[in-house]
Amino acid sequence: MKTSDEFRGEGGNRVPVIVQTSSNFRLDVLEKLGRLDAKVDMLVGNGQPGRMRLAEDRLTVLERNDIKRTVYDRITAGFIAFVVSALITLHDHFSLK
């Protein structure tokens, strides 16, 4: 570390400025930026579908299947309700007691 007396504070007084020239600090920052860049590339994708894109595609497929299943469930429930209603209405006709 070295100090610089070139900076003048309020009132013209000289204030020492500490400048860090450590290469370890620079290497640490560059290493962390590299890891961050790799994580962003992994999530977003670097010319290939990233994890977020794949997750969005899976979610779309699940939503479509859920809509189809809901329609089938409603048709099945309607059919069962119709059969039960018909049996209740016609129980005397079929001699069911």
Q: How many domains, in total, are found in the chain?
A: 1
With respect to residue 42, please indicate whether it lies within any of the assigned structural domains: yes
Domain around 42: 2-48
* Helix 51-89 and helix 23-44, axial crossing angle in degrees, nearest 10: 30
- Give the separation between CA 35 and CA 74, rounded to whole angstroms: 50
Whether 72 is in a domain gets the answer no
Q: How confident is the model at residue 2 (pLDDT cuts 50, 70, 90)?
A: very low
Higher pLDDT, 93 or 77: 77
19 lies in some domain: yes
* Confidence check: pLDDT of 75 > 90: yes
Q: What does 32-95 look like in DSSP terms, one character per residue?
A: HHHHHHHHHHHHH-SSS--HHHHHHHHHHHHHHHHHHHHHHHHHHHHHHHHHHHHHHHTTTTTT
Confidence of residue 47 (pLDDT cuts 50, 70, 90): low
In a domain, 73, yes or no: no
